Amino acid sequence: MQNAFLLIRRLPNGMQNVPATMLREVGIDDKTAASLIHEAKLDVLRIQRDQLLRECDKTQLPDMPITTEKRAAWARYRSALRDMPENVADLDNVQWPVPPAE
pLDDT of residue 5: 83
Alpha helices in 17-67 (DSSP H): 30-55
Cβ atoms of 41 and 1 within 8 Å: the answer is yes
**φ, ψ for residue 7, nearest 5 deg:** -105, 140
Domain count, the chain: 1
Over residues 78-100, the pLDDT tens digits come to 999 999 999 999 999 999 999 99
pLDDT of residue 34: 95
Q: What range defines the domain where residue 63 resides? A: 3-82
- Number of H helices and E strands in the chain, helices first, is 2, 2
Residue 97 lies in a domain: no
Residue 95 lies in a domain: no
Cβ atoms of 41 and 91 within 8 Å: the answer is yes
Residue 88 lies in a domain: no
Residue 98 lies in a domain: no
Q: ∠ CA 6-9-11 to the nearest 5 degrees?
A: 110
Given a cut of 60, is residue 68 above it in pLDDT? yes
Q: What is this structure's pTM?
A: 0.86
